[in-house]
């Protein structure tokens, strides 16, 4: 990468930025899930690594969260945008050089941010833990350069119209910049009290709703038609999905603070809009499932399709949970319990991760023109990720219900801790399986780059997946 940083844009091979974003995202995924496994071990075995404040759960938990969100997830999104956006516009990325600098500055800024977090320098606000100088760095050296590259590539397209995927890409990168700047305003302007609490959860809600959810869905709108050869079932349903996400997901986020002294109408409005996220969810899942018509054998045969469809199916429990747990009737029971932790991982480690894993698999093979080094390792990665995630999600959901019952019926706290302990061990086992799967994935993609069979001109890597 470094030899191209000061090269002329026309001398940089197409796809260079996407390749480096792809490998960066996998490395951060290994780091993030490794930290997650370590943190889970501390909850399962309280005497594990004690006596050092830098390995305390409170120091490491937010490092894990931010490494996964801004390292793995967001960098995988950047990789997908820099590969898919020009492909859909029948053009090249507007600036490979800007993309390479974007990747370098992203890695440097994230490493700096996680280092200061680990040292204990934090805003103290969940999901926006970085101190304000890091927030400004990420806004102006990470998201805005990415936005310029994506928008200019779409403007310079050589096709009529804009496909659904690029609608989502262009809008999501615009929305995340707004969310990032407004959501972190409590630090910029020293806002405190209820205002700080409200904007903290407005940020947390909309990073998921207006960045992670739409971009992950956009990837599926490209991957499934591209790999199966089927046209998208309905562009109109895709547009319904797009506009209903913008309208219904951009909620006031007051459902995160049901017990706070916010206006009651605001909390009710947030709950109703929360249930209405079922509209884009049903539109998305039905559109992708119907696009698969006649090609369901590829769910078994093709790695990218298997990852994508599994992620799409996870959107069903994700949005059923997300919609109804925002209502007062359910929120009072599960708020502040492990149920919420399980739900967050269903969104980030389930729905989103499976979809963007497919994009990274497909994109890296296509750009490097290399057949996947080992299909066996890819299948092992899929099953370790699926079994590990499912173990984590189910165990934390059960633990959350136990905690909710203990809260409502005023069970002594230590009795709740004892009752949920087996599920903390299951949580650690699940997270460790995910980590192992990601190590195998990193090795597989590295070997694909080094020793993968070259894909003949005019063929796609997934077409060669089962050829010896």
Mean pLDDT of 74-90: 97
Mean pLDDT of 270-275: 89
Alpha carbons within 13 angstroms on the beta-carbon side of residue 441 total 30
Q: Model confidence at 453, in pLDDT bands (50, 70, 90)?
A: confident
Is residue 24 within 8 Å of 75, Cβ to Cβ?
A: yes
Distance CA 72, CA 74 (A): 6
Nearest one of 35, 32, 59, 45 to 426, comparing CA atoms: 45
pLDDT tens digits for range 176-212 = 999 999 999 999 999 999 999 999 999 999 999 999 9
Nearest one of 210, 217, 226, 317 to 273, comparing CA atoms: 210
Mean pLDDT of 261-289: 93
Please check the confidence at residue 452 and state whether its pLDDT lies above 90.
no
Q: Model confidence at 338, in pLDDT bands (50, 70, 90)?
A: very high
pLDDT tens digits for range 93-117 = 999 999 999 999 999 999 999 999 9
Is residue 283 within 8 Å of 322, Cβ to Cβ?
A: no
Alpha carbons within 13 angstroms on the beta-carbon side of residue 50 total 6
% of the chain at pLDDT higher than 70: 98
Distance CA 365, CA 370 (A): 5
pLDDT the model gives residue 10: 86
The C-alpha angle with vertex 349 and arms to 139 and 393, in degrees rounded to 5, equals: 140
**Count, residues in the chain:** 468
pLDDT tens digits for range 208-253 = 999 999 999 999 999 999 999 999 999 999 999 999 999 998 777 8
Mean pLDDT of 291-308: 95
The contacts of residue 311 (CB under 8 Å, 6+ apart) are: 216, 220, 350, 351, 352, 353, 354, 355, 357, 358
Q: Model confidence at 326, in pLDDT bands (50, 70, 90)?
A: confident
**What secondary structure does DSSP assign to 397-456, as a single string?**
HHHHHHHHHHHHTT--HHHHHHHHHHHHHHHHHHHHHHHHHHHHHHHHHHHHHHHPPBPP
Please check the confidence at residue 468 and state whether its pLDDT lies above 70.
no
Topology of domain 295-467, CATH: Cytochrome C Oxidase; Chain A (1.20.210)
Verdict on whether the full-model pTM lies above 0.75: yes
Is residue 86 within 8 Å of 169, Cβ to Cβ?
A: no
Q: Model confidence at 1, in pLDDT bands (50, 70, 90)?
A: low
Distance CA 43, CA 76 (A): 29
What is the DSSP-derived secondary structure letter of residue 13?
Answer: P
**Count of C-beta atoms within a 10 Å radius of residue 330:** 16
Please check the confidence at residue 455 and state whether its pLDDT lies above 90.
no
């Amino acid at each position: 990468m470094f030899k191209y940083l000061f090269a002329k844009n026309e001398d940089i091979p197409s796809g260079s930025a996407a390749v480096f974003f792809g490998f960066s995202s996998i490395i951060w995924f290994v780091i993030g899930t490794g930290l997650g496994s370590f943190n889970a071990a501390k909850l399962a075995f309280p005497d594990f690594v004690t006596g050092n404040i830098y390995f305390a759960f409170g120091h490491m938990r937010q490092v894990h969260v931010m490494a996964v969100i801004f390292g793995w997830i967001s960098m995988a999104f950047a990789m997908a945008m820099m590969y898919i956006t020009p492909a859909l516009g029948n053009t090249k990325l507007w600036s490979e050089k800007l993309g390479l600098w974007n990747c370098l500055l992203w890695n440097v800024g994230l490493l700096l941010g996680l280092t200061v977090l680990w040292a204990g320098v934090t805003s103290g606000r969940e999901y926006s833990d970085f101190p304000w100088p890091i927030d400004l760095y990420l806004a102006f050296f990470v998201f805005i350069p990415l936005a310029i590259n994506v928008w200019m590539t779409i403007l310079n397209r050589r096709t009529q119209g804009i496909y659904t995927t690029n609608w989502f890409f262009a809008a999501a990168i615009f929305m995340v910049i707004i969310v990032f700047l407004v959501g972190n305003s409590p630090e910029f302007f020293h806002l405190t009290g209820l205002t700080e609490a409200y904007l903290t959860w407005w940020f947390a809600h909309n990073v998921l709703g207006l960045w992670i959810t739409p971009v992950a869905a956009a990837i599926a709108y490209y991957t499934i038609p591209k790999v199966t050869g089927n046209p998208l079932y309905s562009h109109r349903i895709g547009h319904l999905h797009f506009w209903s996400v913008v309208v219904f997901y951009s909620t006031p986020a007051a459902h995160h603070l049901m017990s706070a002294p916010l206006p009651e109408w605001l909390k009710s409005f947030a709950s109703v809009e929360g249930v209405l996220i079922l509209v884009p969810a049903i539109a998305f899942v039905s559109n992708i499932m119907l696009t698969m018509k006649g090609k369901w054998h590829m769910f078994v045969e093709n790695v990218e399709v298997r990852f994508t469809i599994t992620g799409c199916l996870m959107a069903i429990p994700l949005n059923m949970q997300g919609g109804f747990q925002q209502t007062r009737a359910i929120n009072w029971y599960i708020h502040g319990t492990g149920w919420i932790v399980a739900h967050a991982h269903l969104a980030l480690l389930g729905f989103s991760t499976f979809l963007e894993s497919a994009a990274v698999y497909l994109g890296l093979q296509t750009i490097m023109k290399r057949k996947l080094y080992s299909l066996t390792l890819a299948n092992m990665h899929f099953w370790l990720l699926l079994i590990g995630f499912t173990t984590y999600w189910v165990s934390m959901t059960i633990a959350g219900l136990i905690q909710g019952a203990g809260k409502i019926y005023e069970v002594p706290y230590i009795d709740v801790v004892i009752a949920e302990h087996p599920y903390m061990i299951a949580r650690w086992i699940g997270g460790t399986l995910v980590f192992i799967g990601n190590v195998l994935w990193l090795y597989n993609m590295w070997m694909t780059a080094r020793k993968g069979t070259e894909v003949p001109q005019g063929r796609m890597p997934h077409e060669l997946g089962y050829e010896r």
